[in-house]
Amino acid sequence: MKKSTHNSHCTCWNCPAINLAGKVDFRACGQTVEKFGIDGTGAQIMAECKRRPELGLFDPTAITFKECAEWQLTPCGYLLKDMRIMILGIDGYLGWPLALWLGKLGCKVSGVDNYSRRDWVKERGAHTIVPIARMTERLHAAKEVLGIDINFREMDILNRNRLKEFIDEVKPEAIVHYAECPSAPYSMIDFEHAKSVQSNNVIGTLATLFSIHEVVPETSLIKLGTMGEYGMPLTGRPLFEGFFPADAVLKWEGREWSMGGELTPRDPVSFYHVSKVQDTFNVYEACKYWWLRSYDVMQGVIYGVHTDHVAADPRLRTRFDIDECFGTIINRFVAQAVIGFPLTLYGAGEQIRGFISLEDAMQCITRLIAKPPEPGQYSVVNQMSGYCNLRKLAETVAKVGKEEFNIDVKIQRVENPRVESERHPFEPIFNKLPDEFGFQQNENLEQEIRKMFALLMQPHIKSRIEEKKHLILPRTWWSGVKKEVEQIELIENAADRDKREHIHVASTEVNDE
């Protein structure tokens, strides 16, 4: 199968434009598969198409996406013509580029946001170092520059009546849920912050689930989770995609059980990550009780600044945070390098994480939207394009800084304010996106780092980094202490170090190509 057509064989059974005739809840009706003969002999499941009612009732497995006139080929697979997609959290780092990305693919994009990300960052005294426009200006520029109409509604998804009304009005065929607070350190500041992160995330997701159930049960929910839900099992057990594989076995006191199909253990690493674990269970249960369809996306650490669409006009740029709460590591490192601040490596720096660029994340989400889950299906995908230890990352940033921009980058190891393993095994499994959804990494780490440098070196952005330089060193300790971390070691000539260690590291830990 060609990767671009990863969904050509899907049928109306996957399609959100389908009504299962009579809306029979097959699990609740108490009838078994044998009785209904789902294998084809006397199958009773019938469907009707909301887009093509003239077809009447038909077998939902009869028409493939390739054969259906409503599904049209795009670079990310077949997509429903004018597919209605709602993005919760459309004003954020990921939500805004996704809106433009999907709009350019011909989707009808709608979205909600209450601007809380802007407020949280402001509350910390920080700002996005890449300036971003107000939403009205963004919407105007999207229309003017890219020809995209976005149906935006300012709203808090915890206001369930408003959310439900908007969903009812738009009737989205897919919903991407990005409307969560993404910061581990922010959730560890104090009780009030832990509470606000958990209630925003957990109750927001619950409001979304109930609204989908009541208004658009056929839609697919693409929910953003995190690789951090799994933690770092010190046994070295692989981090499977949500569930144990069929041949996993539990042995205990001379007896054995199959673990196949069971959710794998979760071991979150902050109160923020705990909120994502709670979401996982809520989404999983909703799919089970109400036959909702969802992909839960365990995303690695995101980085980057570029998609062709956000780069098309300064008013279309997405935010780029570098403070301890809202900046992720690679983004922070590049900003630090640009102003000559030694890169802040926490603790030993041997922690390993999965990573994915902004642009690759957009591709993954689009491919998931294009191949909706079946009714009742809850699936987990681990979304990353590679993994690497943090020291190697810092050295890669130093190397690109030196070779391409002639910046002498230093690295500093500082006390680690977090409670996390600093040396640990790490074997993430991330096969589904490439194998089942046709995902192909578009740009490697170094190329994207180069693009970040090029943008961040612009004088107006560099001065915005300088302005907030005092917010770079972390002061939020998991222990509750509030104090700036101390330097443990200063590493000079970091770019040369990358050359010396490259072969060794590349063959053992780096898997970014």
CA distance 477 to 484: 9
**226 belongs to the catalytic site:** yes
Q: In this chain, which stretch among 14-22, 32-40, 107-115, 224-232 interacts with ligand USQ, using CB under 6 A?
A: 224-232
| Shortest CB 71 distance to ligand USQ, Å | 32
Q: Point out the residue whose Cβ comes nearest to ligand USQ.
A: 228
CA distances from 107 to 11, 104, 508 (A): 20, 7, 42
182 binds ligand USQ (CB under 6 A): yes
Distances (CA, A) of 493 to 341, 342, 412: 14, 11, 11
Count of residues binding ligand USQ (CB under 6 A)? 20
> Locate tokens 């002498």: which residue?
408
Which listed residue (17, 390, 449, 456) binds ligand USQ by CB under 6 A? 390
Residue 242 contacts residue 432 (beta carbons within 8 Å): no
Cα–Cα distances in angstroms (integers) from residue 197 to residues 179, 180, 181, 300, 477, in the given order: 11, 8, 6, 19, 17
Q: Are strands 150-154 and 249-252 parallel, antiparallel or unpaired?
A: unpaired
| C-beta of 139 vs 409, nearer to ligand USQ | 409
Q: Shortest distance, CB of residue 344 to ligand USQ, whole angstroms?
A: 4
Contact 103, 148 (CB under 8 A): yes
Q: Does 372 bind ligand USQ (CB under 6 A)?
A: no
Ramachandran class of 98: left when φ > 0, alpha when ψ lies in -120 to 50, beta otherwise: alpha
Annotation says 3 is catalytic: no
**DSSP string across 336-384:** HHHTTPPEEEETTS--EEEEEEHHHHHHHHHHHHHSPPPTT-EEEEEE-
Residues 6+ positions from 53 with CB-CB distance below 8 Å: none
If the CB atoms of residues 290 and 426 are measured against ligand USQ, the closer one turns out to be: 426
Q: By CB under 6 A, name the one of 157, 227, 368, 494 that touches ligand USQ.
A: 227
The partner residues of 356 in beta bridges, in order of sequence, read 302
Active-site hit among 11, 226, 280, 476: 226
Nearest-approach distance from CB 328 to ligand USQ, in angstroms:
4
Q: Which is nearer to ligand USQ, 165 or 350 (CB)?
A: 350
Site for ligand USQ in 289-318 (CB under 6 A): 300-301
Least Å distance, CB 110 to ligand USQ, is: 24
CA–CA distances in Å: residue 365 to residues 55, 145, 334, 409: 31, 23, 26, 34
Q: Give min distance, CB of 325 to ligand USQ, in A.
A: 8
Residues from 314 through 353 that contact ligand USQ (CB under 6 A):
328-329, 332, 344-346, 351, 353
Instruction: Dump the DSSP string for 440-480.
Output: ---S-HHHHHHHHHHHHTSHHHHHHHHHTGGGSS--B-TTS
Question: Which two tokens mark 185?
Answer: 């350190």
Region from 29-37, 74-82, 180-188, 203-211 binding ligand USQ, contact rule CB under 6 A: 180-188
Nearer to ligand USQ, 183 or 219 (CB): 183
Q: Is 378 a catalytic residue?
A: no
Give whole-number Cα distances, 380 to 209, 224, 225, in Å: 17, 10, 9
Structure tokens at 462: 């560099």
Any contact of residue 157 with ligand USQ (CB under 6 A)? Answer: no
Q: Which residues, numbered 351-370, are part of the site for ligand USQ (CB under 6 A)?
A: 351, 353-354
Residues between 433 and 492 with contacts to ligand USQ, criterion CB under 6 A: none
Tokens found for residue 407: 């910046």
Residue of 78, 93, 272, 303 marked active site: 272
Single out the segment in contact with ligand USQ by CB under 6 A; choices: 5-13, 80-88, 220-228, 358-366.
220-228
Task: Name the active-site residue from 276, 371, 392, 468.
Answer: 276
Please say which residue, 63 or 390, places its beta carbon nearer to ligand USQ.
390
Q: CB 420 → ligand USQ: shortest distance, Å?
A: 5
Query: Which of 367, 371, 418, 451 is close enough to bind ligand USQ by CB under 6 A?
Result: 418
> Minimum CB separation from ligand USQ for residue 181, in Å?
9
- Residue holding tokens 């603790």? 347
DSSP label of 393: H
Residues engaged in binding ligand USQ (CB under 6 A): 182-184, 226-228, 300-301, 328-329, 332, 344-346, 351, 353-354, 390, 418, 420
Residues with catalytic annotation?
A: 226, 272, 276
